[in-house]
Structures are given as C-alpha cells and as structure tokens.
Structure 1
Amino acid sequence: MELSVRDFSLRVFWVGLFVFAASYYLVEHRWMPLEMGLLFALGFLAEWRSVKLPGFGVLNPGEGFYLAASCLYGPLAGALLAFLSGLFWDLKKGKRHEVILFNVGWALMTFSLAGLAFTVGGLLGATLVYRLVSGSLQAHGEKHFSNLPLQETVNHQVKETFLVTPAVLLMCYFSMTLLELQAGAVLLLALPVELVYMYVKTRELSAQLRTTLRELESTQAELVATGRKAALGVMAAGIAHEINNPLAAAVTNIHMLKMLVHNSSAKKSMGLLEKSVERCQDIVSRMLKYSRKTESGSGVPCLLPEIVEDAVLFCGRKFGPEGVELKLELQGCPVVSGDPTEVVQIVSNLLANGHDAGGSCVTVGFQAADGVVELTVEDDGEGIPKELQTRIFEPFYTTKAVGSGTGLGLSIAQGLARGMGGDLKLSNSRRGKTVFVLRMTEF
C-alpha cells in the first residue's frame, strides 16, 4: 500500500527518533561544549552556504561537521547538531510541515547510525553507513515529495554520491584532526566553505551575465533592424512618389498609342508593355504599404495568403521556374491579428531560409484550431543537425558561410512574433524535412 506524504514523513520521523534514543543506551557519549559548539557553528555556516550544482545536487559541507561530531562525541551529539541546524533553516525557509518532519527524521536517523557504525568500522564505516542511509532516505523522499519514479531518484542519489561523499569525508577528517590538535583550529575550515560558495556563485553570476549579454545583443539587433526598417519606409515612400508619376504618365501614353496604332502586332506589344508597367505600379504600391508601421499593441486584420504572396514577391526570383518550387496551401486560411509589416518580414525570412536549405521544394500551409492559426513553412532540404536545433534562435548564430548570413534573421523573427502575442518555433527537422511554425491568433 502506497503511503501518503504525511504518513511517510511521520514514519521517517518516528524511526529517526527511535534510533536517536536507542543510541543513547548503546554508545558512550562525551559532552564537549566548546568543541561541539564550534562544529555546530561550522555546520550552521555550511547550511547557509550550501550550493546547488547542476547535474549533481546540493553540496552541503555541513554534513561533514555533523559526521565528525557523531564520530568524536557519540551519535547523540552529531544527530542533535544536524537536527538543530536543519530545523532552523527549514523554518526560516518556510518549508512544509511534512518536509520538516522528514528532514528531522533524516538527521536523527542518519547521524545516529553513522555514529554507531564508527564504533565498529571507524571513519570509513561511518561514512559508508552515512551515505547509504542518507541516500536511501533522500531517494524515497524525492519519490514522495516530487512524485518521481523511484529508479530516477535512486540514480540521482548515486550521481550525487560522487560529489557529496568525498566533500563530507574531507570535512569530517579535517575536523577530527584539527579538534585533536587544538579546538579553535577547526574554524579554519570556514575558509574552504566560503571559497567553494563564492566559486559556485561566481560561475552562476557569470552564466547570468552571459545570458543577459545575449539578450542585450538581441535587443540591440532588433533596434537596429527597426531603425533600418523605418529608414527603408521613408525611402520606399519617396521612391513611390518619384516612380508613380512617371509610371502614370507611361500608362497614359500607352493608352494613347494603342488608340493611334492599328497594327495588331504592335497593339499586342503595347498590351504587354501596359501589363509590365501595371506590375511595376503594383510592386511600388506594396512597398509603400509595408513602409507604414502599425501602432504598437494594436493588431489589425492580416490576410495570410496575400502576405505570403507579397513575401514571395520580395524574395525576387528565388521561387518559380528559375528557382525552387513553391507550393501554397492556404485556401480557407482564417484572418489573423498582427502587424502586416512584421508578418511579411517573418515570412520572407522563413521563405529565404527554406530556399537556402538546399532542397527542391518549399511548402507553405496552415492549421487552425481554438482561435489559433499556425502558419507552417516546410522545406525538403538538408535539415538542421539535432545538436544545433536549440541554438538557431540565438542572436548572431548562423550555420551559413561567412558573408552569407548575419545570424539575426530567426532571432528577430521570433522576437517580432512574440511581440504580436504569438510565437515562432522549429517544429521538426531531419534530413529531407524542416518545418517552422508561426503561431498567431485569429482576428
């Protein structure tokens, strides 16, 4: 029958209390107030300075001082020091009552049994019993408190053993040696505790600074891109004004020529010329449309089929008879909310990446459900290696040759998508299939 968390904690507590009481009758105890006080102070400091090491667990040198007390002054001394110090920090951190009961039982049982083992097998026997009892209790504790499989918690404790046990054994050995030489000398062990703590915290701060630096670089890149886009908007507006007038004049003159010319072949040529000029007017009109920025925080209706067509236009001759095949499967696509300028920038980037992937076809499709629309861009290129997939959205990271890419495209595109309340992610990538998903909300 599976025990509840409360029943499990109570059972550990009562068993620990029983072992603690039994040790009083089984082993002789020596009460050395000064030495025990020094070990308690060091254990208290070590509890305060305990650090979590990724992949290994919590490094708490204080257990070495409690183990030394159990070996030198009897199981009752070590268990009492561990109980008092652990109880203070558990109450200060506001831990649940069940966790506090378990930790009290763990401290009493672990260091009472370790002290008993010292009388039989010396320091090595005490360390072995300490680690077996502590690891077993912690594994079952993680299982009950975190709802993890027992095998997983046991594996975690085994991995932690390789780091924790040597540290605890060293602290215990040096504590016992220094106490035998001179009681006050044991305070020297506060130095390595502080040095380990400062080393680990410095590494954590360094990692945080690197993360912050990458975020700042990403923000700076987005600001630069926004500035360039604004400048291009001004240029596009100027180009539209300067080119539209000559184009309008060209259309007027073509109409006049078509009325004056009666040769069928010439009229056909005039018709082709008229269509070409109208295409130029259409391109200028679209450039002008995307030069206007939507007000921040206000989403407007976006027709994804039209935006994708515009993005294809801006990609030049990359797709079509002279380039990679492009399949658009957007019939029935719902209207989404967003900034057309930013959406066309995101789609243009995804299409360009799909073209550069080395495949023969890029497919644009969609999925819609529960007010969410996911635009998918799939290519049949080389794919992205698994070890690189977690880095492709990092600023300045690129797999392209020097001079062929800045590494900002996907980073900026993801930032724009999230700024509109959506997201951009890599859904799948293997050789012959890479799928990017742009997630947006229906308008």
Structure 2
Amino acid sequence: MRAYDLILKKREGGEWTREEIEWWVRGVADRSIPDEQVAAWAMAVFFRGMSERETADLTRAMAFSGATVDLSGVPGIKVDKHSTGGVGDTTTLVLAPLVAAAGVPVAKLSGRGLGHTGGTLDKLESFPGFRVELTREEFVRQVREIGIAIAGQSADLVPADKRLYAIRDVTATVDSIPLIAASVMSKKIAGGADAIVLDVKVGNGALMKRPDDALRLARLMVDIGRQLDRRVVALVTDMNQPLGRAVGNALEVREALATLRGEGPPALTELCLTLGGYMLWLAGRAAGPEEGRSVLSDHLQSGRALEVLRRLVAAQGGDARAVDDPARLPAAGYRALVTSPRSGYLAAVDTQAVGTAAMLLGAGRARKEDVIDLAAGLVVLKRLGEPVAAGEPLAELHYNDPTRLEAARAVLERAFVVGDEPVAPPPLVHAVVGAEEG
C-alpha cells in the first residue's frame, strides 16, 4: 500500500477497507507516514466523511495502536464516562465518587484543560500533593483496593490518536465528527471500559454548536460501541451556559465538595444523578436509570460519596483534609466583580467567552505548555432567565496577577446579554441515545 493512493481514494469519496485502515493507523503510530500526508488525509475525511463501518474500524485500530489497560482483575462491569468538554463542567469530581459509593468500580483516565474548557487532572491537582501520574499497575491495584482511581493517560496509550489529534489541532479538522468519535471511543476502549456513558455537550460553550451535529455524534459513538461489543449510552446535554457556577480549578473543586454535601448548584447535581443513573444501570447495579438515580441520591444524602472522595485523595497522595476543610485549597489574592449595565432578565450567556475569561485570568491554557494558576477563575452569579437589577453582580473574578484582570473583564462584560423579557432556560438534557437497546 501507498499513503498517496489511500489519500487519493478518500479524496475521491472512496471507502477504505479494514486492512487499509489498520495499515494507515500503524503508519501514523510509528511515524512512517509523514505529517503532511496525515494532514491531507484528515482534510479529506473532513470533507468526504467516513462510513459507520470505517469509523468503527478506525476506532478499533487506534485503540490497539499502543498499550491498553487490562481491568479483567477488577470484579464487576467497568463503566466509564466521558464528556466532550464544556465550561463549569465539574461532573467527574462528583460523579466518580458517587458511582464508586454504589459499588461500581471507577477506573477513569482523564485529561488536562486546553483553551476555554477545563480538565479533570488540573482540578484534582488543586488538592495539595495529589498525584495524577500512576503506572498501569498502580492504577489497577488502586481500583481493586478502594474502588476508584482517576489518573492521566500514559504516553503509550493510543499513540496514533495522540499524533492525529496534534495534526488535527493545527489543520482546522478538529470538528470532524467521525474523527471526534474515533478519538473519544478509542481512548475509552483502550482504557478497559466494558460500558460507556457519554455526555455530548451542545451549545455556544461546546465543540458541537448545533443540536443536529451533537445528535449525529452521539448516534455515531453509540453505533461504534455496538460494533465493538461495548454497551454505550449517550446523553446530549446543554452548554448554553456554564453547568455549575464555578469556572476554574480550585473553585470547581469547592463546588464539587458542596455538591457532594447536597449543597451544590441544581443543574450540576441533576446532571450527575442522571449520568450516574445510566452508569449504574449499565453496570447491572440497577434495574433502570431511574432506580440508579435514586440509589445515588441516597448516597449523596448519606455522605458516603464524600467518604469515597476522601479515600481517593489520600490514596493518590493528596491532602484529604481539604475535603472537609476547603480553606486548604488554593485561593486567589484578589477579587473583582462584573455587574449588569441595566435591569431586566439574563437573556443569553456566551459560554465560550466565560471559559476564555477564566483562561485569561490564569485558570486555563492557551497552549499546552502554559502553566496555570489553580486558584484563578470566576463564579457566575446569575442563570439564564433570572431577573437582574442595574449594577447587580453577574460574575465574581478570582485572580492573583492584576495584569490579567482587564483583558478577562473585557471578554466577560460582553458575555452576558440582559433583555427586557424573561427567557425560558434550555433543557438540561436534549436527547438520550442508546438506552432503547437495554
């Protein structure tokens, strides 16, 4: 085979065979196919697309392009959860201990934040001393011993996807739906998941801006799971405003702790219980998602999930005292307010701009090599549809570097639209795909 011929075939709208896909993925992983040819293929896929069978074959080949995590020594059905990324999306910090408290093993490989979206690993590092780099042996042993581990993905896991994503990132092909689906699902399969619950975000703060694109992505990933013998449920959830109120690492940890005490924002609590209900159902711990949700609600009220988080933080070297005393978490030295210029109702929020403002304060990375400030970020004080008085605070900014304030404030001031009439907030869950397969 020749890379040139395969690129030409895809450019002309042809469908690759499984053998061609496997050859291509090996060449991407071992770098025998140069960057310019990988980039040309990514652009051809962006315009020509891939069939569901091709996408499943690409997923399988990428999942096994490097090492994999063997969770066969962990009893039970291993259910993973993945979010396509949003703003103020603190679900993993709440959901993982909540599901583990119900007896479902949680073995989660997570990532870092980039751009306007946050990363679970950065948030966990707000606990002083928390270690996110575990060997595969440490990772599996911890899941076996305490029922939960959250760590970074090792360099030898899905190497083909790592290289492909880096090329997509600089060639304007990140938002190719088949390539997104293969990237997400290959990592979940390589991570050892038996079943997967997907949180596909849609709205102005998400990768998928349009509901039909989000639904297409959700259906494709569920179909990939079916073809690769994994049970998958995908929920299309709203990202037209931050999910919680906090945006920024230590701030989101504080909000997660409040949620695990039963005092969190309603939307964050609701989504965690909903996603968790599906996870318990897929794990065989509940007869259906509603029963699973009820079980998790009990664990939230009893404090069992908070105890699981204490064990997780302690097991990975973090200061578990911060779970009960959030004052031990990083805190910013300065605060400032963004206020409403007029009275009315909060009619719209540019959620991506909110995430960008947090990044400009130091909470996120414009480039992968950037160093972040774990204390920096902001708290959104109003939700869509709520009344607002002139001069009333819309957001509180937390920062340590005063030189960062004005740029972040300017972005944030444009992010809120106050109108004359109340608006109905969008539904939290737009659609569920895959649950009908039981």
Structure with greater helix percent: 1
Superposition TM-score tier, normalisation by shorter sequence: under 0.3
| Structure 1 length-normalised TM | 0.21
User: Which of these two proteins has the greater Rg computed from alpha carbons?
Assistant: 1
TM-score of the superposed pair, with normalisation by structure 2: 0.22
Larger RCO: 1 or 2 (CA < 8 Å, sep 6+): 2
Higher strand share: 2
